[in-house]
Structure 1
């Protein structure tokens, strides 16, 4: 295996005679640049404040609508339960009334 100094000595003249390297900059054709500019100008960016306000209002409206339907549903359920309780109370009062009437009839019958 050749020593490192010999390898460097052999490659040094080749490096001196080689053409200097230049870096190539990124380039695009004018047609491609026109498409990029046209596409970029169409999309209007939404500002952070405007987007935040829109999101806040949308979220508030959605939460309000959900809360409205929840409250309406709870009102309907409680109203149905109250109506059932009223009918049960009415039936109990009618049973007690009929029981009291039969007792009064029995007491009136014994008095005679």
Structure 2
């Protein structure tokens, strides 16, 4: 319990006890007319209006910030897409060149001689060369025989004359 001193005009004793219990003390206070209740200017309505204004301002700023972030992100995305398109174009051109080279290589393989073919042609050429060499030797032998016959004829003619 607490003791509080109250002025003598309102209480019979100089000390009055305060307690936290629900004891009701009835004191009659005299009033001379109605006391107007003063409300703060704006009161409850001012609080709501302030809240709404703050919420609107925060919403507007956050929307602006989100729009700016979206604009930046869209720009970055667009740049990435353009870069991807350029890369895809380069890859496509490289693939086209590779296909062209593969076609040319296949054509060269089809038209080129294989080692077996070269060996076969070399053997045939050797046979042809040997055959020509034999014919050349035969021709020389024949020409030599003709020369011998011609010399015999010339000798016999010179002897007869």
TM-score interval w.r.t. the shorter chain?
0.5 to 0.7
Segments of 4+ moved more than 3 angstroms:
none
Q: Distance in 2 between matches of 1:95 and 1:107?
A: 18
Secondary structure of 1:100 counterpart: helix
Secondary structure of 1:85 counterpart: helix
Q: Which has the larger radius of gyration?
A: 2
Counterpart check, 1:109 vs 2:113: no
Taking structure 2 as the reference length, the TM-score comes to 0.40
Q: CA RMSD in A?
A: 1.2
Give the paired residue count. 68
Counterpart check, 1:66 vs 2:61: yes
| CA deviation after TM superposition for structure 1 residue 82, in Å | 0.8
Q: In the TM superposition, what are the counterparts of 1:4-19 in structure 2 within 5 Å?
A: none
Instruction: Give the strand-richer structure, 1 or 2.
Output: 2
| CA deviation after TM superposition for structure 1 residue 90, in Å | 0.4
Counterpart check, 1:77 vs 2:72: yes
Uncovered stretches (5+) of structure 2, i.e. residues with no partner: 1-39, 108-161
Counterpart check, 1:53 vs 2:48: yes
Spell out, residue by residue over 1:10-57, the C-alpha distance to the aligned partner (whole angstroms, 9 max, x if none). Answer: xxxxxxxxxxxxxxxxxxxxxxxxxxxxxxxxxxx6233122112101
Which residue pairs with 2:85 in the alignment? 90
Instruction: Give the helix-richer structure, 1 or 2.
Output: 1
| CA deviation after TM superposition for structure 1 residue 89, in Å | 0.6
